[in-house]
């Protein structure tokens, strides 16, 4: 479970950085990849990366501003040419389906895989036996959502000594107990999973926030997360500008992570005025003064999600 940034700039692409897109790789967990936002040029960034569109399972759009969305029609229409023929679900605010349908219809694009577009207004938007994804409205010029991805706890390891006590040998019963199912022995005894399993392995939480001013929902979505991805468009000396344009400063991103008691913070969505890493270092220094475990997003760099 790791994060790969395909775009980290705000507004428009520059020679140094592309516009917003973040990949959550779940190769070990479910052999798939999820994408958060799809700014212009995202599919070209994918070609320059170790990511495979054949593994793409879900796309989560935070809001309908172009720097988070304009790469979507192209990626959807060419995905199959890169081996992506499995079903794909795209989640996002109201209006997303109209945008996708119109773009594909007017360009006469053919989608030869199952494409499902789910518009939502927040709340629980996806859940299965491994993960759940919750969304909440942030504070931006248009409806902008943050997403909280929760990996469900995994069963603990089987205790060999406890298994031997019951005379259970490797085989189908192992699998049932590992899945949390009770089993019946030949002598009629019932063995409950908690009798032979160690402590469950705690699942990780990743929060990806769309464009936003500091707000309560950003903190709630980030509460106790192992990693928070938060926009940091400006240094705090431009706090008034950030407020006017419904964005956040690096300091405000750090304050959100601190208030949420998150494990780590990665800042992204940088203004084009910060052209190189030396200038971005000022944003990092500002954030670290409040939340020491702060990092800068870097394109084509893999970030492991800590346990």
In whole angstroms, give the CA distance from residue 125 to residue 148. Answer: 10
Query: Which domains can be identified in the chain, with CATH numbers?
Result: 2-154+201-304 (3.60.15.10), 160-196 (no CATH)
* pLDDT confidence band for 53 (50 / 70 / 90): very high
Residue 280 pLDDT: 97
What are the tens digits of pLDDT across the range 69-106? 999 999 999 999 888 999 999 999 999 999 999 999 99
Residue 196 pLDDT: 85
pTM: 0.91
Q: Is 67 annotated as a binding residue?
A: yes
What is the residue whose two structure tokens read 């569109």?
53
Q: Is 236 annotated as a binding residue?
A: no
Residue 228, SS3 per DSSP: strand
What are the tens digits of pLDDT across the range 115-151? 999 999 999 999 999 999 999 999 999 999 999 999 9
Segment 267-276 shows an average pLDDT of 96
67 is catalytic: yes
Residue 101 pLDDT: 97
What are the tens digits of pLDDT across the range 13-38? 999 999 999 999 999 999 999 999 99
Q: Out of 37, 67, 101, 143, which one is annotated catalytic?
A: 67
Helices (H) and strands (E) in the chain, counts: 11, 16
Residue 23, SS3 per DSSP: strand
Q: Is 143 annotated as a binding residue?
A: no
* pLDDT confidence band for 197 (50 / 70 / 90): confident
Residue 285 pLDDT: 98
């Amino acid at each position: 479970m790791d994060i790969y940034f395909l775009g980290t700039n705000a507004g428009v692409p520059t020679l140094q950085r592309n516009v917003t897109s973040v990949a959550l790789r779940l190769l070990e967990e479910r052999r798939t990849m999820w994408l958060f936002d799809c700014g212009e040029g995202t599919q070209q960034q994918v070609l320059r990366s170790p990511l495979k569109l054949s593994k793409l399972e879900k796309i989560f759009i935070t809001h309908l501003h172009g720097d988070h969305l304009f790469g979507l029609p192209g990626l959807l229409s060419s995905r199959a040419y890169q081996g992506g023929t499995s079903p794909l679900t795209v989640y996002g605010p109201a209006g997303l389906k109209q945008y996708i349908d119109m773009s594909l219809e007017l360009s006469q694009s053919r989608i030869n895989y199952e494409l499902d577009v789910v518009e939502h207004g927040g709340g629980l938007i996806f859940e299965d036996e491994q993960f759940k994804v919750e969304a909440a409205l942030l504070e931006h010029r248009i409806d902008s959502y943050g997403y909280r991805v929760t990996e469900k706890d995994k069963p603990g390891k089987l205790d060999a000594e406890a298994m031997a006590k019951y005379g259970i040998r490797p085989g189908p019963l192992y699998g049932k107990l590992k899945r949390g199912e009770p089993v019946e022995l030949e002598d009629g005894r019932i063995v409950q999973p908690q009798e032979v399993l160690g402590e469950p392995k705690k699942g990780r939480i990743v929060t990806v926030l769309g464009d936003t001013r500091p707000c309560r929902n950003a903190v709630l979505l980030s509460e106790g997360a192992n990693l928070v991805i938060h926009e940091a468009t400006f240094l705090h000396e431009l706090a008034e500008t950030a407020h006017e344009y419904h964005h956040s400063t690096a300091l405000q991103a750090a304050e959100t992570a601190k208030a949420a008691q998150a494990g780590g913070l990665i800042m992204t969505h940088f203004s084009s005025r910060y052209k190189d890493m030396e200038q971005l270092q000022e944003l990092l220094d500002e954030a670290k003064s409040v939340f020491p475990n702060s990092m800068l997003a870097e394109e084509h760099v893999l970030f492991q999600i800590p346990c």
